[in-house]
Amino acid sequence: EAAAKLRVALYTMPDSLKSLRDRLAKLTAEEEAAWAARDYERAASFKVERITLQQEFDVARTAWRSETGLDEVVSESDIAEVVATWTGIPMTSLLEEEAQKLLRMEEELEKRVIGQKEAIEVLSDALRRSRSGLKNPRRPIGSFLFLGSSGVGKTELAKALAEFLFDDEDALLRIDMSEYRERHTVSRLMGAPPGYVGYDEGGQLSEAVRRRPYRVILFDEVEKAHPEVWNTLLQIMEDGRLTDGQGHAVDFRNSVIIMTSNIGTSYAKRGGALGFRSGLDEDNLDAEDRQLRDQIERGLKDTFRPEFLNRIDEIIIFHTLTKEDVRQIVDLQLHEISNRLAEHDLSVVLTDPARDWVVEKGYDPQYGARPMRRTLQRFVESPMSKKLLRGEFQPGDTVLIVVEPDPDNPEQEILGFERQPQAPIAVELPMRVASES
């Protein structure tokens, strides 16, 4: 199949070359018609145009072949591309040495998930143990329970892990467990048994994993599901397989199982934070952290049965975000805004006072990073969208976000947007030297 795909690629020209070839064929036909009609003047004109176009076509075709680097030898990358199409594993993952990739796992994940270094280290160590062959190969790659308050990065870490392992964020299968509160909803995960409505459709979980077994599966808010759903997860975490409603065995050995929960965080809200708190010395900090972990463990034991908790590889606790963490998150989200503005040929720069202003407006330790996203939407994206529609910015401009007094209330400050036009390009004209007479 790799050879057939390569042969098709060798003889399939891009649309621009096809357009030149069609124009060349049309000119040739018109030239021949002019010669047949003995219209020699038009025929000569067509001939000159055809020769020019033929040269342009030859140059473009040579450049295309050199740029693509296509040859008639099936290489390792050609086979990897076919296997990637079959399995859903991106080609870069197949070609890259997995050992080197796993060793830099923390570095890559910390680029997207801010303030959760301990959680990333525990997750990375567990996955390295699994991929190095020290773990039971019949079980999934890893099964984890993420605990923490809202907005601290539990779902974001699952997305970052999917992109890191499989080079595709779409490899994340997210299932909201609040939709499975009733006992009969288990059939939606595994598929309805024979004789019931929806038997031919397959289950939401089983069908998705059967079609693409290399996945990160996220069970969001797992404590809200019916206990029968937890019993289903027991078999997945222990045996790495499951039988769907049609009797087909679904393989989960190449999947990562992640469950998120807010259990125990209510114990930690006394004093305002889960994890480390500011204003405490190191001894009190360690004692406070141990106390919070004990309270969270008691909450887990009150909710889940021991056989469920014992099958989880790691229970990872996420800490509350600090102001410095939120400051870094502002830079990440502003980078996303900058990428979207690049489509309009605009760039954006956030000054330090403006960054401090945004952090003060959007920081809430109880709700994590989500209020910051709303703050940027309200004070940055909405005003800029109005200015874009009014045509106040031109392509090539740089938008400088600053803090300025509020015109309606001078005692308060708001964000302002200063336009910095693109500097004109200096063109050096050739100097004219006067000749001596």
Is 98-317 assigned to CATH 3.30.300.30?
no
For the domain made up of 323-420, give the CATH fold. Helicase, Ruva Protein; domain 3 (1.10.8)
Evaluate whether 2-68 and 98-317 have a shared fold. Answer: no
Note the pLDDT tens digit of each residue in 231-283: 888 888 888 888 877 778 888 888 899 999 888 666 555 443 443 333 334 34
Cα 81 off chain centre by: 21
pLDDT at 262: 82
Residue 51 exposure: Cα atoms within 13 Å on the Cβ side: 5
For residues 265 and 275, the answer to whether their CB atoms sit within 8 Å is no
Residue 403 backbone phi and psi in degrees, to 5: -105, 130
Pick out the chain residues at pLDDT < 50. 270-285, 425-437
The 3-state DSSP composition of the chain as helix, strand, coil percent (nearest 5) reads: 55, 15, 35
For residues 199 and 99, the answer to whether their CB atoms sit within 8 Å is no
Q: Which of 276, 318, 265 is nearest to 158 (CA)?
A: 318
The residue ranges of DSSP E strands in 148-205, in sequence order, are 172-176
Task: Give the start-to-end residue ranges of the domains of the chain.
Answer: 2-68, 98-317, 323-420
Note the pLDDT tens digit of each residue in 101-124: 788 888 888 888 888 888 888 888
Note the pLDDT tens digit of each residue in 316-353: 888 888 888 888 888 888 888 888 888 878 888 888 88
Token pair of 352, please? 């330090």
Is 2-68 assigned to CATH 3.30.780?
no
